[in-house]
Chains A and B, each alone.
Chain A
Amino acid sequence: MKKKSSGSLLKMKKAETLSGYLFVTPIMLLLGVFVFYGLFYVIRLSLFKWNGLLPETMEFRGLKNYILLFQDPLSARALINVLLFMVFTVTVQMFLGLIMALLLRSKLKGSRFFRALFYIPVTLSTVVIAQTFMGLYEPYFGLLNTFLRGVGLDGLVRTWLGDPRTALWCIIAANIFQWTGAQMVYYIAGLTTISEDVFEAAQIDGAGFWRSLGSIVWPGLGPTHTTVIILGIVGSVKTFDIVWLLTEGGPGNATQFPATLLYQAVARNSQAGYGAAISVIMIALSVMFSAVQLTFNKKRQEA
């Protein structure tokens, strides 16, 4: 009797293991074809020179792609750009997103409208955002220059996207417009974890707005800050669409990003091996930041 039940238990356990593997087989197959195979492929390809067409023309060149990549002034440009982009989009989005979340807590008239309005750009295609901002930046009848002329600031009028000094900032502004609503939502969720009593205690205390913001709200949102910052970093490493649509990396390479260099190398210059070296570095960075985020999430769940 005892033997039989332990036997059927073993059978049940086997069935459970088998079901587990069956349930995850489709996702593993798809990721296998599109991601894991691709990963091995680009790591290998990054050691070759190849125009991306005939397999016979592949030529082993060791680490030369990486050496070229580190020596190329365009890589330095792309790195500086992506860092500037990261720092400014993340900080402005955090600040604005938190302000929005706090203001909407007041539940004044129109709160739902404002919340929806701030979130709308998140739901739009980057293509729509890019065209929207091209309409603002257009040098002759664009809204921005028209406005500047209207208020008598003609000196500030310029070809915003065509000027290497302003193009990157135009891209940064468009990205902030697109994604601040998402950060707002994270902060709205984060604020619900701070108990109302704490706010009230601060009010009885007579803590002013800025003081309670600095001493209660900001530190109480630790996990939200982490999420917002890491998502911002991961998103920055990937940034391609908005740059490609607004400037294609120009004018004169002033707004190159790692992803635009990669796309140009592979799709325009037939440098598949060199592009693969850029891929490998981007993948390494993305996975690294994801690992950091997963560690934080785990810590939070355990705490």
Chain B
Amino acid sequence: MDRQKIKTFLTLGLVLLSCLVLFWGEQYLGKFSTRVLNLAAIFVILGASMNLVLGFTGMFSLGHAGFMCVGAYVSAILTMSPESKEMIYFMEPIISPLDKIHWPVFPAILTAGLVAAFFGFLIGFPALRLRDDYLAIATLGFGEIIRIIVTNTISITNGSLGLKNIPPIKSLWVYWGFAIATIWILKQLINSSWGYAFKAIRDNEIAAEAMGIDIFKHKLMSFTIGAFFAGLAGALMGHLITSVDPTMFRFLFTFQILLIIVLGGLGSLTGSVIAGVLVTVMMEVLRFVEQPMNLFGLQIPGIPGMRMVIFALLLLVVILFYRQGLMGTREFNWDWVLDKVGVGRRKEKGVGVDG
């Protein structure tokens, strides 16, 4: 059997296996585990999309939390029932026509992504003329501005009180469906001619421009796509924890995503997926260090903040000693697996036409 066929079968097998796992998880997993897995899916989306911007296009943007914030609010406002809006907006009533809108979740989540992408486009327009640390601080600034605006436009966002009673989504299928779709879309994009253009800009901006690539247009494109998925993830986050408020989207979020992509490898989607799940699970598992413990009759008080200390140290250790992270810029591919097992013969290696 030739390689291509084997690979197709393997891919189909993997899809089937994921479906079975999701089906099993949906049936038998407890509430807590499901929640953690759903959170992991959200962080996978966040990691992959920030990796597109930072790892593949080489733009040091720190505005991801801001775009999440936009997405979370858009989806929440669109899907909350008019009654709960009337109840929650008691400082100032919500403006018309938002008070009557009551959308189903799916179009709302997609709209959240689109609105975040629009913000990304608007912000990218001025900010992407900057590079490196200037871009970092400008995008960080924009992220903060978004948060400050959300805190102050009370008749739209309910200000610092935040929103509650957002229609919940509990199913693994939804979160992982979005995560898998995101990964697939980003993989296709990165292996396409556009993906190579992004990588060329990252590798050598001046040479890329001399090859005819419109740097600004491509940077803006990558940034806007990144913002779209951040918005999507923000929306999902809202439906997972059913409440949002502006303090949620502090820099802390961006830091966690940064940890994921550094740990997984700047420029590896596979790395972002692995590290996304890993970091989320660690975040939950490590909760014990912040809770009081009883060890052999010895009472140890919990230490709030300890998890973040561990994460900060982890980030530093990775960046100082294992700069490649788990995957470097490598990606999972069947050829590698098949070469290892020694099945089938490789026809020719080369640039994929369809990825």
Partners in one complex: no
- Chain B interface residues toward A at CB < 8 A: none
- Chain A interface residues toward B at CB < 8 A: none
